[in-house]
Structures are given as structure tokens and as C-alpha cells.
Structure 1
Amino acid sequence: MTQLPPAKLARVRTVAQDAMRGARWWTLLDLERTLRGDAEFWRDLWAPSLAIAAHKVGLKGARSKLDEAIDAGFHQTDLFEPELSAAFGADPDWSKVIERARANVPEPALRLTAWPEPAPAPPVRLDRAEPHREPQLLPRLPRAGAGAWETAKLLLGWTAGLWRHANARINAGDALDVLEQVANGARYSCVEYSIVLAQGLNALRVPARRVWLRRGDYHDGVGQGHAVAEAWIDDLDQWVLLDGQHGAYWADENGKPLSLPELQARERPARPVHVGPRAPMKDPGLWAAYFAHASVTGIAWEPKGFVPVFQDGQVLTTERLVRDSTEAYPRLSDLAIGITAMDGTPAVELKPVHPYAIGGAWNGEVITVHGRQRFARALDREPGEHRAALATLTPYGPLASRELRWTAA
């Protein structure tokens, strides 16, 4: 049967649907020849509908159109219940008819069986200079290294050598303000080192934020707090604590740089590693005592109870208070996926967690879309099982990969 022109097909479908809804069975039956020309809906809609209509008016062989549909692959019998069972349920072979229809359900052309999912966590808050100020800050910084860790160590050592520590505070301003005042001879505290380090790292596209460390009895006394920074290091696939005042980070017995939660969990003080011109810490154990309590930009955590007042009566504000530090430390190499269409075929769209993502990688091949943060790749439709290693791409290269699996029929 020749396919109907679109305009005529639309009119015939409307008449047929109205006839079905209004139980005008002869009207529907009179349209059979024309409806056979509707290749899209004949098997799954019109043939079973005509079988019901033929039974309603008492025509012999009414079930033949249903059998024809099942032979062609029809399987959605439930859409026509209870009318189908009322019409043909008494037939001796009805159970076999239903089995034949159910056996027609094809395997899906594509099925995703495993995909990456980021762990639940609040959005990460970074310490950045205002967008209009960052371009002015960037020329004052050392050039980025080949990798994120190399860049972080370069900036850590550079920050520590900018001025000799003093207890003065700038009280307002950003890294650019601090650098301008230091150029005029000003000296500042650990707070200003943390500002310059965190905002400088972000300007170089290394995600960083400030960290406030507090000793165990920080609600009374003096010298109970210390300000540092931390950064997500792409090539280490982890957060690392960085002390801009001392030009140091902390490492375990094997030399692995440590995050703040790792430092808090240790029974023995970790080893500080100095990368700047400053003299080594005189008493690493004393400084390790500051790991007892901590908060970062946007979030604080305390497993047993939070004391919201600092030594001088200052209120310790935080946007979000949690009990577990894991909520403050998303893995920025994580990514989610979405499903989109590319040239009419299903495709996977990468949705990076990393704030400085510039693209994605699919089995090592870079995928980007110019002008948009949309990194998509069509799924292979060759029959069989497929796997792909997905990764976020940053200015420092691809991050740790996550596996995607799917089957095609």
C-alpha cells in the first residue's frame, strides 16, 4: 500500500481516532483500505483496533487482523484491554496468542549498563578574585607549570617569599590589594597569605579555597587559629593542604601530599615539606595542633559539636554546618552524564564537576564543542558490548577516568 501524503494522513488519523472513541465501528471499518497506507501506525494501532471493531459488528474472521498484526511484530496487547479479551478471550488458543504477542518485544537497540555518578555533595565554593579583577591579578603571578601540582608548588613557594610575616591585617580587599600594599612595604598575617595563595591558584585554573584551622580549645586564649589554603590537584586526583605563610604542605611517610581530612585523621603529626624560601617550621608538632578543628570556604564540619565563638568573642560564621568532612570534599575529577541527540542518534553528554573544565576525553580522544560547555559523543551502535573511559579535560590535561558501559542490539 502506498504511503499517504502527510496532509491526507493527518485527516484520516483524526477521523479514525474519533470513530474509535465514539464507537462508530462501521466508520472505522470503512477506513481499512486507507489505514493500511499508514505504515507508522498500521501494525500497532489500526490493525488491532479494526479487529475489535469487526468483532463489535459481528463480522466473521474478526481476529484475523489481530493475528496479522502479531505476525508483523505487534506486542502491546495491554493498550487494548479489556476490549481484546472481551472480544477474543474465549478463543481456545487465546493464551497462546498472548504469548506470541509478548514474544514480539524486541531487545532495545541500546542499553546503558554502567555510568559515572558524582557523590552527593554541596557545590564547591572557591576563593576567587572578582571576575573583573582576575585579569589584573594574573600578570603578577608566576607562570603556570606543566601540571597542576607543579603550578601549586610554584605559587606556594612564591607566596611564602612575598613578605615577612607580621600580625597586621588588611581587613578588606583581595589578592590584588594585598600585593599592591606589599609592594609598598606592608607586611601581613597568615590570613593574607591564604588570600593571595587561594586567589592566585584560581587565576591559574587550579581550584582553591581558604581554610581556617583552630586548636582544640579555640574558644578561649590567644593564637588559637591559623589561616591556610587548599587546592584540588588534577594530577594527584585529590585535595592538598597548602600553608602560604610557611611555604609548606604536609606529606605522609611515603611522600604523598595530604588533604586536611587526612591530616585530621592521623594519630602522629605528618611531615611538613617546604618549597619556598622561608625557614622550616621550628615546631611542626605545634602547628599540627591547629588541625583539631577546621572550616573551609562555605562549609564547616564537626562530628561531636560545633563551638560558634572564637577566642576573642568573634562569631564563627559558616554557610553550611555538617558533621562529616566528606561533604566538604567533592572529587572534582567526578563527572555525570546526560543523554542527548547527535544527528538523530543517542549520544552521551559529559557533565564535569570540575569548575575549570574545558572539555572531555573519550578513550583518550578529546571531545569539545566550540563556544559551549557541552561535551558529547554518539554511542557506538555496532551490536555487542561496549566500554568507554570518560574523563574531564582541564587546562592541565585529562583527569582520572570513569567507565561507561552499554550494549547494542
Structure 2
Amino acid sequence: MAAPLTSSRLARVRTVAQDAMRGARWWTLLDLEPTLRADAEFWRDLWAPSLAIAAHKVGLKGARAKLDEAIDAGFHQTDLFEPELSAAFGADPDWAAVLERAKANVPAPPLRITAWPQPAPAAPLWLDRIQAHREAQLLTRLPRPAAGAWRTARDLLGWTSALWRHANARINAGDAVDVLEQVANGARYSCVEYSIVLAQALNALRIPARRVWLRRGDYHDGVGQGHAVAEAWIDDLDRWVLLDGQHGAYWADEDGRPLGLPELQARDRPARPVHVGSRQAIQDPALWSAYFAHASVSGAAWAPGGYVPVFQDGQVLETDRLLRDPAAAYPRLSDLAVGVVAQDGAPAVLIRPEHPYATGGAWNGEPIAAAQKGPPERRFTRALDRDPGEHKADLAALTPYGALASRELRWTAA
């Protein structure tokens, strides 16, 4: 009676069989057939075709029978055994049909992801945030957020513009809390300080924002060549919008749609300023539109005609990254990146929102469970439906202001 095929004995037999195949010790391999037949994992796809080749090598009759047996059981990887298989059986009159039989054994994939969202390439996103330990102090000074991101941003824009009357003084250091404390004592500051307060206030209320430096045409000489504003990603508009804290204004197109900086730079006529604060309205839109000629944002600058790194007073205009295309500085923060992971042994998708303040994910409008590893608010997993047929799901990131624009995922299951 044969000894039971324990895992350790099976491992030894596999090693001996592999060495016999490599060393062309065909009889050694053939003598192992009774044991190899018990190796359910590899019999069909490895040992049966190998034994067919070995039987042919030593001239045994019926050598091909083991190959036929393997094909009948579902074997299809004939290419792994070439040129030995064709050398052994290629002269058989039905060899072409044998290869077709094997090829027909290839099963349909159990699962195939056919469409998925992919974020566009973009430069790293630098937001102008107050230091974490100072954020609580800033929040106590801010208006309460509204139900939507755009309403909240407009409220903050109007609030910021009303804090003080513009002056050309500069604080030259500090953050939004420092500015607000000095303003409470009667200080007045320039556009730079408006941009600091507005950008950091927006981020504190979980609206991604950064500062923007605007410059007129030949800004390397003269006076009054620059202006500082802010810009924010607005969840419910699915876009970046430029916000002028000094004037309490944003710019809109002819249909009233709020505009971002690249759109303003591309226009051939001034956009319409829309005021939400109590400050005096911009009287000459063309004058202020001239500041859109050149720009940089936190972390990046672009200048298709060549970047001039010196401002009117000799100040060096530093930037972390020079870009040729401003689109690279404007990631679409409703985008999602999708990966694949195993969840309880089954395929699942791992969803990573691009939005820095994502608090969750949604799958066809339902919340997605957070992944076990990594920051829980930034990674979400969902197992893929394995029922036969075509499937799709609408994926979206969730923020404190609701669900962002959705992205489609498609897959098929056999």
C-alpha cells in the first residue's frame, strides 16, 4: 500500500520530477507517474504533458494518450512545452486539431474591469493652510459654514473683504490669526493679507484653497504691477474659482458662471466682476483684468512666453515648479484613482479620492466602507459583483459639503 502523500513528501516528489525534466532523465520521471497523478494541483497542466513528452522520448507506445487526457481535462498551455510537444507529436495527422482543442480550453476571465476613472497628470497640489495647531483658533473667528461649498466660499469672500479697509501696509510674517489679531487692534493691510486670510479660512472650512499672485504685462519694472488673490476648488461647481478678498469679488462669464484663472487668462475681453461684499465695486474691469497677464499659484508658475523671475522692485519671484501648461496646476479634485486589492480573498477596488478633504466615498449613492490600511478618510474599498454579466457603478468622493461629481466603473463577470 502506497504511503500517504503528505505535503512534505509531495514537495520532495515535485523537486525530483522537476530535476528529472531538466536533466532529461525520462525514466525517472515516468517512474513517478503514480505519485504525480495524485498531485491535483499540477497533474493536468504540468505532469501529464511532461510525461507525454517523456514517454515519446523513450519510445513508449501511446505516449500521446497522456497529452490527450490532459486536454480532455482542460489543459491549454501548449506553448509552455514547445518545441518538445511539436517535435514529439507534430507529425500526427490531427496535430492541428489537437492544438485547436487545447486552445478552446482557455476559459473566459472570471472578471474583467473594462472602464475606470483615472486622474489627469498634475503637479503636486500645495494648499495654503494655517498650521494644524492654530486651526482651532482660526475657526473660532470664522462664520459658520453654509450647506454648500459655493455658498460657504461666497460668505467667506464677503466676510474677508469687510474686515478692514485696504492699505499698502504689510505684516510680512504670520498667518491668518496674526492678521486678524492685528486688524482687531486697528491695523490695515494690503491685498496680500486679504489673500492669506481668505485662503486659510477656506481651508479651515474644508474648501481646498491657495493663494494666487497676479502680475501685469511688463511686471519687472514700474509700480503697482502685482495683485494677490485666492482661488478655491468649489465642490458643487466642480471647478476652480478665482476669489478676490480685497474687493469681495469673483469673475463670471456671460452666462454668470464663476471662472477660474486659466479661463480668465484665455479670454479676449474682460470678464464681469461679481461682488458679494460691502466694499466698493471694481469700477474699471479692464484695468483689473490686466493683472491676469501673468500669474503663479502656491507651488507653481507658468509662462508660455518665458518666465521672468524678477518683480518691479528687484524681488526674486520664487516658485517651486515651472510649468508650460497651466492645466497641470489645476487638478480636478472630484477625480478618483482606482486600484485593485483582495478583500476576503475576492477582487475588490480600492478608491482614492483626489480631494484633500474627502471624508468618505459613495458607490451608486451608498457609502463605501473604509479600507483597513492607510488614513481611513482617503481610501475606500468595495468588492466587485461576481454575478455573470456586465456591471457598472457610479463612484464619488464625499466631503463635508456632500458628494462630488461621480465617475463610472465598469466590469464584466463570467
Tell me the TM-score range normalised by the shorter chain.
over 0.9
For the pair 1:288 / 2:289, whether they are aligned, the reply is yes
Find the counterpart in structure 2 of residue 243 from structure 1.
244
Task: Say if 2:412 is the partner of 1:404.
Answer: no
Q: C-alpha distance in 2, partners of 1:3/1:262?
A: 76
Structure 2 counterpart of 1:147, one-letter code? G
Q: Does 1:364 align with 2:365?
A: yes
Deviates more, 1:399-408 or 1:280-289: 280-289
Q: Deviations over 1:77-128 (max 9, x none)?
A: 1111111112111212111111111111111111111111111111111111
**How far is 1:7 from its partner?**
2.9
List aligned pairs for 1:118-137, cutoff 5 A.
Answer: 118-137=119-138
- In 2, the alpha carbon distance for the partners of 1:209 and 1:332 equals 14
Give aligned-pair identity as a percent: 80
Give the length in aligned residue pairs. 409
Q: Is 2:398 the counterpart of 1:393?
A: yes
> Match for residue 340 of structure 1?
341
Q: Which residue of 2 aligns with 1:98?
A: 99
**2: CA distance between counterparts of 1:163 and 1:314?**
27
1:1-400 alignment to 2 at 5 Å? 4-369=5-370, 372=376, 373-400=378-405
The farther-off stretch of 120-129 and 186-195 is 120-129
1:284 CA displacement: 2.3
1:23 positional shift: 2.0
Question: Does the aligned pair in 2 maintain the 1:3–1:38 contact within 8 Å?
Answer: no
Q: Deviations over 1:181-226 (max 9, x none)?
A: 1112111100000001001111111000000011112121111110
Q: What is the TM-score with the length of structure 2 in the denominator?
A: 0.95
The list of structure 1 runs, each at least 4 consecutive aligned residues, that deviate by more than 3 angstroms after superposition, is 1-5
Q: Is the 8 A contact 2:49 2:70 kept in 1?
A: yes
**C-alpha distance in 2, partners of 1:27/1:117?**
54
Structure 1 vs Structure 2 CA RMSD: 1.6
Secondary structure at the residue paired with 1:73? coil
Whichever residue aligns with residue 280 of structure 2, its letter is A
Moved more, 209-218 or 138-147: 138-147
Secondary structure at the residue paired with 1:106? coil
Q: Which moved more, 1:28-37 or 1:193-202?
A: 28-37
The 3-state SS of whatever aligns with 1:117 is coil
Deviation at 1:3, TM superposition (A): 9.3
C-alpha deviation, 1:282, in angstroms? 2.5
User: Cα distance 1:203–1:91, how it changes in 2: closer, same or farther (>3 A)?
Assistant: same
The one-letter code sitting in structure 2 at the alignment partner of 1:88 is F
Q: Secondary structure at the match of 2:236?
A: helix
AA paired with 2:350? E
CA contact (8 A) 1:117 1:335 kept: yes
SS of 1:213's equivalent in the other structure is strand
**8 A Cα contact 1:117 1:337, kept in partner:** yes
What's the CA shift for 1:4? 4.1
**Residue identity opposite 1:102 in structure 2:** K
Q: CA deviation at 1:266?
A: 1.5
* Residue 393 to residue 216, structure 1, CA distance change in 2 (3 Å): same
Give yes or no for contact 1:201–1:208 (8 Å, CA) kept in 2. yes
Unpaired segments of 5 or more residues in structure 1?
none
Moved more, 29-38 or 6-15: 6-15
One-letter amino acid of the structure 2 residue matched with residue 388 of structure 1: A
Q: What TM-score, normalized to structure 1?
A: 0.97
Equivalent pair of 1:237/1:399 in contact (CA under 8 Å):
yes
Partners of 2:369 and 2:382 within 8 A in 1: no
Q: CA deviation at 1:12?
A: 2.2
